[in-house]
Structure 1
Amino acid sequence: MAILSFKEIECMDCYKCIRYCPVKSITVKNGRAQIIESECILCGTCTVICPQNAKEDSNDIPKILELLSEGREIVATVAPSWITAYPKASFKSFSDALINLGFSHIAETAEGAYVVKSQYEKLIKDKWNDVIISSCCTTINLYIEHHFPEALDFLAPIISPMQVSANKLKELYPNAIVVFIGPCISKKAECGENGADYVITFDELEGWFRNSSIEPKEDDLVSMPKLSRSFPYSGGISDSMVKESEFQYMAVDGIENCINALQEVVSGNLKGYFIEMSACTGSCIGGPSFQKSQHRQILAKTLVKKQAVDESGDNTDFDVKADFPLKRKFFDKKVICMPPTEWQLSAILKKMGKNTMEDELNCGSCGYSSCREKAMAIYQNKADINMCLPFMKARTESFADKVIESSPNLILAVDIDMCVIMINNATCKAFHLSSPKDILGSPVSRILDEYNFVDLIASGEERISRNIYVAEYGLYLEQTLIYDKANSIISCVMKDITQLRMEKNRIRQAKMNSANMADEIVEAQLRTVHEIASLLGETAAKTKLAIMDLKKTILMDDEIF
């Protein structure tokens, strides 16, 4: 199962996850963002910045609950950054809360940190390499393996504190399931034979506490400070180490800063450096769990240092031995893709509407820093051409303009001040305007009565349809007004029904002439009938009624405008 995944919801085309992904390991297909697992470094940034909360990491709590229900023994190793998540608790009260959840034993991952920092000290003392990069941060390890293998030779070949602690627990509790609790999503990549069996983050733990109606009690009991608990803040690894005078100790945090530092490392210009690298700004106290809950780093660092550094200066540390292998190997896992030729890249750029260098806006709205980087992503099947918002906007506007200009209907739009902001050629022709420029920005009352426009706004309706007559231009129009409240724009679509109206008037006049002729016939017939009736003594009533019915039939018609 993938460690990071996306919920089954439609993206809102903000491309925020791509924009903030340091390695662009996200693709959008069929309206949904997807992780490119072979390139993801599990920094968790996308889980924090997605406005729809569509990104989520795999949650091991259901599996742990199932194991607890089966009666399995579950033990936990807790990252020293726990104090940042639960600042009012002591380690004892926090451990008690975990035991109430079902854990049988709680250990500090800081004990594993002690073993790891001791191994770093040995590498430095033995001058293992001119530059040594810490390998505690899984995200940095993944970045080097998948994206920057040139730096593999500088990465300390030592397992992480979590792996050391998990192995110690497996020695002490051979049949137990080991769970690591910390701020980091990427630690889930270390689960397996050489690490914890399961990993849960602090925000996942908080949900478990809440669902179980359990909360770590407030407690001011302070544990004796141990230097290796300083690992969670930037520079904390170096602070815990016994330093060698021949080496300089540097801390770099934040993935972009680390990427820049790695480029400097492989340049060969650095000699005698131990570089502590953390992908998260501020190191572990700035991890994804804490980013979501917006913990403050200054306070967090203060809390961590309080449990690590003795204010009197009489610092102590753990004394832990490891009787299992501590070395590990890192591998070149970079996926090599053939780059496009300049011709192929240019062809993609032209499809994006980038025909010249001036067209390459490099606006970043697609999530990529430049149009060429976006074109490269399209070539690699990571991105879609429709992700270019300026291109889509221009294409949509071009299409809309063509539809409006080719329409036989009269179309215009006015703003809230009743000034014309758009008009098509058909309207210009109907109102004897030489071009749209003749009226753009001018009051619509120059060509139309603005009463209907004002009435629409006052009515609160979104649309009204009426038939109007513009006497000055001799036009009969079927008018539909649409009010866009959000943008304060009224669109006016008018169908010229002048010819239809004139044809109806002609037909009506013809019918009136026929009716007048019928009246004359009636009068003539009546005179004749009366003369005959006077001679024969008969009434002409039936004849009159028949003639009147004939007249009504002639004048019968649909309602005329």
Structure 2
Amino acid sequence: MDRMQPVYTETNNCQDCYKCIRECPVKAIRIESDRASIVRDLCIFCGRCTLICPSGAKKVRDDVSRVKRMLRRDKPVYVSLAPSFVAEFAAYPVNELIAGLGMLGFTGVSETALGAERVTAETSCLLQQSASGIFISSACPSAVDYIRKYRPELTSCIVGLHSPLMAHAAMLRQWFGDDIRVVFIGPCVAKKNESDDFNSLIDAALTFKDLRAWFEEEGILPGLVRMNVPAEFVPFSAADGALYPLDGGMTTTLRNVVSLPDVSYMHISGMENIKAALDGVSALQCNIKLFLELLVCDGGCVNGPGFSSQKGTIVKNLQIEHYRKMHKTGSSGAVISADFPGIRSAFCTVSQPVRNRDCSESDIQEALRTVGKTSKADELNCGGCGYNSCRDFAIAMLSGMAERQMCVSYMRKVAADKASVLLQRMPYGVVLVDDSLHVIESNKVFAELAGNDLPALWEVRPGLKGADLRKMISSHKIFLNVLSSGNDLIDKNIDEKGRLMNLSVFTIQRHRIVCGIIQDLHQPEVMQEQVVRRIRQVVRENMGTVQKVAFLLGENAARTEAMLNALVTEQEKV
């Protein structure tokens, strides 16, 4: 467990359900000793696993205490507030939200959307100046990470610009000085990784969930915020940049800046949609300018993992669009682009491809054989292990990312084989039946004790699966009683076809499955065991009686002694 990672696993809470593997778009999860851990070099920090983990084992790093330490120092701390704040904190009027952040100790609050507008202006210039080709937005850090690691052939297509947050952080430092601290607050988990990689620009990143919990801790609630001074965004409010959290929001801002008829725009959100959409793009002979806006969160940033609001995408989008309409007098592209530091960056255009282990076909086949997959028909591709196919799982095992016991069908077979071996080696008759008294499993001894043609039938149909217990033994009603009552019956002697037997019936699944154990009391070893057990029972009962007698005798003796002592005392007084 590495709590320093933006996303990590609380290993004690991990229930090895493999849901995180199933949901992870890049399979950046390693299973070791039945516990899942996140491999940082493979992760794109989309935060999906933190939303779907049923036991809450996947955690987002909490940086609140770190920010509190910043606020206790002398240097001013500014907030870069993501434009989707209006969908998370709808109950707070904007001026109250800004004042609330001031109550926490922040020097000023500025909109990340200002950085977005700077990115829009630079992207527009780049599109105008460039020849035909494919241009991929650098706004979503998770999308950039995905391309750099898993689609390295497309890395050169990423526009070489800072993300809106990094651009905004650079602007804040130019406005208020290089010695300030910048803290991002928004719905994006990947921003924590961005703050780790670019700590000279961004000092920390909090999620909306972090801020909401902090507000509640400090009692900063809607309608209870002290408004001592006017609270406004610094240095001014944003305009079109407020649309960036929407699916297609950046594309809208680009079209609003300038009309570029030779540019085709496409916007795609959701990791699975992005993966499918990019297939074949690298081989595309593009004689136009194609701009791709990619957002990893399905529906856009309004559905980021750092949101606590459970409202739907439509409601959130409408709240953001309404806020944008109410703030039409924000900054202009001309104001933003004047006298600001350049935001060109080579970082996002440098590939960092994930190097998968080269596995030969013979290696894969051998790995498949270790989990009982000896033919194509054995490859069920059920997905129980979290991987899309048995071959993917085999490659993951060879790469040290998966363990053999993750294969559900293999472990079920191992468990069944073990149970079958134990069942067949038991010296007693054993039978499991369902609530219809149909046999689920039995051993050969049971068939022999039940008699008639059952031993021969058992040879043809091992286990007698599906056979009707009512046609086998006359004491089947005992099984029905245990099924209906749910109460086990232990050590009942029964007469079965003229033979004295001992029957115990106990519950496996209440009212659904019961197990019966039958012993032939005429067998020498069973008779000896029964005699020993009966003797022990008699000894226990006799010892109990002796102890009771001793107790009564002791109690009577004590009473007699007390009475005699009382008489002696009275005589002495006389």
TM-score, with normalisation over the residues of structure 2?
0.82
- The answer for the alignment partner of 2:521 in structure 1 is 497
Separation in 1, partners of 2:540, 2:89: 81
- The answer for the alignment partner of 1:117 in structure 2 is 120
> Do the aligned partners of residues 285 and 473 (structure 1) sit closer, same or farther apart at CA in structure 2, a change above 3 Å counting?
same
Separation in 2, partners of 1:185, 1:502: 67
Where 1:352 maps in the other structure, the secondary structure is: coil
TM-score, with normalisation over the residues of structure 1?
0.84
Letter in 1 for 2:374: N
- The answer for the alignment partner of 1:435 in structure 2 is 457
> Do the aligned partners of residues 557 and 287 (structure 1) sit closer, same or farther apart at CA in structure 2, a change above 3 Å counting?
closer
Separation in 2, partners of 1:238, 1:214: 36
- The answer for the alignment partner of 1:418 in structure 2 is 437
1:45 and 2:48 matched: yes
- The answer for the alignment partner of 2:276 in structure 1 is 260
Separation in 2, partners of 1:435, 1:294: 60
Q: 1:228 aligns with which of 241, 263, 271?
A: 241
Once the two structures are superposed, the pairs formed by residues 299-310 of structure 1 within 5 Å of their partners are 299-309=315-325
Q: 1:128 offset after TM fit, Å? A: 5.5
1:453 and 2:452 matched: no
1:468 and 2:493 matched: yes
Where 2:306 maps in the other structure, the secondary structure is: helix
Where 1:285 maps in the other structure, the secondary structure is: helix
Where 1:103 maps in the other structure, the secondary structure is: coil
Contact 1:226-1:307 within 8 A present in 2 as well? no
1:81 and 2:94 matched: no
Separation in 1, partners of 2:32, 2:271: 26
Contact 2:486-2:511 within 8 A present in 1 as well? no
Letter in 2 for 1:267: A
Q: Deviations over 1:274-325 (max 9, x none)?
A: 11111111111111123x64331111111111222479x9997462235323
1:133 and 2:150 matched: no
Separation in 1, partners of 2:205, 2:540: 79
CA RMSD of the aligned region, Å? 2.8
1:238 and 2:251 matched: yes
Letter in 2 for 1:149: P
Where 2:366 maps in the other structure, the secondary structure is: helix
Contact 2:521-2:527 within 8 A present in 1 as well? no
Where 1:344 maps in the other structure, the secondary structure is: helix
Q: 1:467 offset after TM fit, Å? A: 3.8
> Do the aligned partners of residues 153 and 101 (structure 1) sit closer, same or farther apart at CA in structure 2, a change above 3 Å counting?
same
Q: 1:179 offset after TM fit, Å? A: 0.3
- The answer for the alignment partner of 2:406 in structure 1 is 387
Letter in 2 for 1:187: K
Separation in 1, partners of 2:370, 2:424: 25
Once the two structures are superposed, the pairs formed by residues 171-320 of structure 1 within 5 Å of their partners are 171=174, 172-191=176-195, 192-217=198-223, 226-241=239-254, 242-270=258-286, 271-290=288-307, 293-309=309-325, 317=332, 319-320=335-336
Separation in 1, partners of 2:212, 2:97: 12
Where 2:8 maps in the other structure, the secondary structure is: strand
Q: 1:372 aligns with which of 385, 391, 395?
A: 391
Letter in 2 for 1:239: T
Separation in 1, partners of 2:493, 2:165: 79
Q: 1:365 offset after TM fit, Å? A: 1.1
Separation in 1, partners of 2:154, 2:526: 84
Contact 1:309-1:315 within 8 A present in 2 as well? no
Contact 1:39-1:147 within 8 A present in 2 as well? no
Contact 1:96-1:216 within 8 A present in 2 as well? no
Q: Deviations over 1:87-116 (max 9, x none)?
A: 233322211111111111000111111110
Q: 1:67 offset after TM fit, Å? A: 2.3
Separation in 2, partners of 1:298, 1:3: 29
- The worse-fitting range, judged by mean Cα deviation, of 125-134 and 355-364 is 125-134
Specify the structure having the higher radius of gyration (Cα).
1
- The answer for the alignment partner of 2:553 in structure 1 is none
Q: 1:460 offset after TM fit, Å? A: 4.3
Contact 2:405-2:411 within 8 A present in 1 as well? yes
- The answer for the alignment partner of 1:397 in structure 2 is 416
- The worse-fitting range, judged by mean Cα deviation, of 339-348 and 173-182 is 173-182
Q: Deviations over 1:31-62 (max 9, x none)?
A: 21100111100010000010011111211100
Q: 1:222 offset after TM fit, Å? A: 12
Letter in 1 for 2:490: S
Contact 1:162-1:195 within 8 A present in 2 as well? no
Q: 1:496 offset after TM fit, Å? A: 3.0
> Do the aligned partners of residues 66 and 194 (structure 1) sit closer, same or farther apart at CA in structure 2, a change above 3 Å counting?
closer
Contact 2:430-2:516 within 8 A present in 1 as well? yes
> Do the aligned partners of residues 309 and 386 (structure 1) sit closer, same or farther apart at CA in structure 2, a change above 3 Å counting?
same
Separation in 1, partners of 2:213, 2:34: 30
Q: 1:170 offset after TM fit, Å? A: 2.0
> Do the aligned partners of residues 52 and 502 (structure 1) sit closer, same or farther apart at CA in structure 2, a change above 3 Å counting?
closer
Q: 1:360 aligns with which of 347, 366, 379?
A: 379
> Do the aligned partners of residues 486 and 294 (structure 1) sit closer, same or farther apart at CA in structure 2, a change above 3 Å counting?
farther
Unpaired segments ≥5 residues, structure 2: 226-230, 532-537, 542-574
Separation in 2, partners of 1:136, 1:502: 78
Q: Deviations over 1:146-203 (max 9, x none)?
A: 1111111100100011111112222214332110011100011221345310000101
> Do the aligned partners of residues 121 and 470 (structure 1) sit closer, same or farther apart at CA in structure 2, a change above 3 Å counting?
same
Letter in 2 for 1:208: W
- The worse-fitting range, judged by mean Cα deviation, of 423-432 and 302-311 is 302-311
Separation in 2, partners of 1:502, 1:215: 75
How many pairs does the alignment contain?
A: 505
Contact 1:163-1:194 within 8 A present in 2 as well? no
Contact 2:441-2:465 within 8 A present in 1 as well? no
- The worse-fitting range, judged by mean Cα deviation, of 267-276 and 492-501 is 492-501
Separation in 1, partners of 2:377, 2:280: 33
- The worse-fitting range, judged by mean Cα deviation, of 407-416 and 210-219 is 210-219
Separation in 1, partners of 2:128, 2:303: 31
Where 1:476 maps in the other structure, the secondary structure is: strand
Separation in 2, partners of 1:339, 1:165: 42
Where 2:268 maps in the other structure, the secondary structure is: strand
Q: Deviations over 1:253-287 (max 9, x none)?
A: 11122223333431223331111111111111111
Contact 2:81-2:112 within 8 A present in 1 as well? yes
Separation in 2, partners of 1:314, 1:70: 35
Unpaired segments ≥5 residues, structure 1: 508-555
> Do the aligned partners of residues 352 and 68 (structure 1) sit closer, same or farther apart at CA in structure 2, a change above 3 Å counting?
same
> Do the aligned partners of residues 394 and 323 (structure 1) sit closer, same or farther apart at CA in structure 2, a change above 3 Å counting?
same
Separation in 2, partners of 1:183, 1:403: 54
- The answer for the alignment partner of 2:569 in structure 1 is none
Once the two structures are superposed, the pairs formed by residues 154-169 of structure 1 within 5 Å of their partners are 154-169=157-172
